[in-house]
Structure 1
Amino acid sequence: MKKTLLSLAFAVGFALPAFAQQQITVVNFGGANANAQKKAYYEPFEKTGTKVVPVEYNGEQARIKAMVETKKVTWDVVEVESPDVARGCDEGLFEKLDYSKLGGKADLLPAAVSDCGIGIFVWSTVMAYNGDKLKGTPSTWADFWDLKKFPGKRGMRKGARYNLEFALMAEGVKPADVYKVLATKEGAERAFKKLTELKPSIQWWEAGAQPPQFLVAGDVALTTVFNGRIDAANREGKNLKITWTGGIYDLDYWVIPKGTPNKDAAVRFIAFASTPEAQAEYAKNIAYGPTNTKALAKLDAKTLGNLPTSPANSKDALQFNLKFWADQGEELEKRFASWAAQ
């Protein structure tokens, strides 16, 4: 009898891992984006047998670096912004991706494909205003700078990125030429000079939730903002409007920290989240554009009309130039910090 019990215990001991549900930790930026990911990606993926544990962060790459260097990786899939994909890949913080296990590259936007990261969605920094408070319809960045035509304060993200590009477009530089001009000493001078015109009227923001709050409260007449934040506010009954002309679009990416013990499950999750069906569901929950081009056919006209990737919204848009900011960003951000402090 004792021998039989020992055999049974031995058998059960080895069987336990098969019954334990596998789980992965997926890290995101929180807010409306996290809620959309939960509905489109986490909950449906959990039906395949792997639990998703969501964690929020603010893009601190140092936390990933510490995990990788100490070989104590507890994050399996992380959402990162475009500047961090290339940098983290170069530093050996992320696993190289095998696209044959992720559904291939053919249906993905070219910008969504990189060695260590796969695009999750396209987002845009745009101009917005409160449809209940502003008289008239601003249509260009020149209007954003026109304090007589549209009196009131201007909300802008505190940093050089985006603002220098917007300043040049307000000067009349075409989106296609912005980075060519900004790369010159004269062009940078021109952008800062244009920003100085507006400086007394700027109300800075640092968190994505702030611009819609500024608009609703009437603190600013116009603001730069992430388009998804306007969509989220309008889903709560607000009447905030977007001007898409000269918006700057960029992508967020999934990466897998190097050394995760759950790499196979992480790959399966990313493959699932990159399908047209999952990406279409995500776009229905927040107005960020799919990176899988086949997802667009699964969306209705109203949803498409709110996306930065729709033809009407993207025709005068500018793609954030990662290489430019990698090469010149540090110098321009230092100059901006000095300028803002004056």
Structure 2
Amino acid sequence: MRKMTSAAFAALLMTASAHAADTVTIVDWGGDFQAGLKASVYDPFAEEFGVDVVLDTWQGGYGNLRARLESGVSGWDIIEVEAEEQALGCADGLLAEIDWEGLGVAGDFIPEAVKDCGVGSILWSIGLGWNGDNVSEAPDSWADFFDLETFPGKRSLRRGPKYALEIALLGDGVPADEIYDVLATDEGVDRAFAKLDTIKDELIFWEGGTQPIQTLASGDTVLSAIYSPDFLKSRQDGINLGLMWDESFYQFDYWVVAATAPQDVAQEFLSVWARPEVQANFVASQDYGPANSKALDLVDAERAKDLPSAVENIENAIATDTEFWVDHVEMLTERFEQWASQ
């Protein structure tokens, strides 16, 4: 039976926009992801603190989040968001600041998981992937993505400027620690598009995360940027894909707390999530990396080595610069779409 919609259910739980002290609404991406969270954190949290947890789902987008929270009647308390939504919501005063001192675990978290208004939830990466059945040697840098002689054939990128432009600069020899400084200049943007021009005839774009897996598996592409969760799922399905962790880009999603939420209950929830054993239980069934670095020691070693937060996988990876994309996404998206349509 289909559950009642979030708006209708939230309305029943609220009077004059006031929350019941022992009820909290948590919003995430739904599906198997939500089921994994329910087993690993929602149910233990509810049982330990005697809180009634109401679950909802959403599909992301800062405009949606802002409209919900500004209305004052959304009923949303704790939300799983992407990095840009955390940054914008914090800047706009819609999210509460995190009491990291009260949590007492900031030193155990991967640094990028610690934000003023966000507690790292999951870590995912996007890196260079290939099908081991279709290439004689594995690529070892993004320069290989642009090498049509050694790796002839179609290659694919996520549609949009994010990651495509960073990858282009890496392929053109820009050091990893300089790519965002270079991309912040007009000359750097021109350089990135000029590099993409060198493979444009062999380049196709994907929008859904499973698309590049399918084209690599079928042999329609020889190289592709792929998401780490889709890579891990493909390995479980028996597809002989490889992923270059060096020069991959990693990013966190975050737990954020609405400024209107019951802050004491939210802090209790975050204290449960912050525990390494809770995160280890979650990533045992979900193909993401934990934010608490101590959680990896509690994960089966064979599984842990394929997670993006494993030391050997993250040590030469690149943290996506969220602030850069918050500032530049509109301008660069417009230019990218003009370039792609030519």
Unaligned 5+ runs, structure 2: 1-19
In the TM superposition, 1:76-115 aligns within 5 A as 76-115=77-116
Q: Does 1:186 align with 2:187?
A: yes
Partner of 2:255: 254
User: Would the aligned equivalents of 2:121 and 2:254 in 1 still touch at CA under 8 Å?
Assistant: yes
**Superposed displacement of residue 141, structure 1:** 0.8
Q: 1:242 to 1:183 in 2, by over 3 A?
A: same
- Find the counterpart in structure 2 of residue 265 from structure 1: 265
Distance (Å, rounded) in 1 between the aligned partners of 2:300 and 2:39: 18
1:58-101 CA distances to partner (integer Å, 9 max, x unpaired)? 21222322222221022222111112212111112212222244
> Which residue is 1:336 aligned to?
336
* Contact 1:32-1:232 within 8 A present in 2 as well: no
Distance 2:236 2:47 in 1: 28
- 1:128-143 equivalences under 5 Å are 128-143=129-144
Q: How far 1:183 sits from its partner (Å)? A: 2.2
Q: CA RMSD in A?
A: 2.4
Question: 2:226: which partner in 1?
Answer: 225
- 2-side partners of 1:282 and 1:288: how far apart? 9
In the alignment, what sits opposite 1:167? 168
**Deviation of 1:53 (Å):** 4.3
Distance in 1 of aligned mates of 2:214 and 2:24: 34
Q: Which runs of 5+ in 1 are unaligned?
A: 1-19
- Rounded to whole Å, the distance in 2 between the matches of 1:23 and 1:255 is 17
Taking a change above 3 Å as real, the CA distance of residues 108 and 138 of structure 1, as seen in their structure-2 partners, is same
SS in structure 2 of the partner of residue 290 of structure 1 = coil
Deviation at 1:167, TM superposition (A): 0.6
Q: Distance in 2 between matches of 1:132 and 1:51?
A: 50
Letter in 1 for 2:291: T
Farther off after superposition, 39-48 or 106-115: 39-48
TM-score w.r.t. the length of structure 2 is 0.85
Amino acid at match of 1:315: E
Counterpart in the other structure of 1:294: 294
8 Å contact from structure 1 (residues 155, 222) kept in 2: yes
Displacement of 1:136 after TM fit?
2.4
SS at match of 2:284: helix
Preserved CA contact (<8 Å) 1:23 1:51? yes
Whichever residue aligns with residue 283 of structure 1, its letter is V
Distance in 1 (alpha carbons) for counterparts of 2:65 and 2:182: 36
Normalising by the residue count of structure 1, what TM-score does the alignment of the two structures yield? 0.85
| Bigger Rg over Cα | 1
SS at match of 2:27: strand
User: Structure 2: how far apart are the matches of 1:236 and 1:52?
Assistant: 34
Deviation digits for residues 313-342 of structure 1 (CA, Å, limit 9, x no counterpart): 223211111232233333222211211121
Deviation at 1:252, TM superposition (A): 0.9
Does 1:277 find its partner at 2:277?
yes
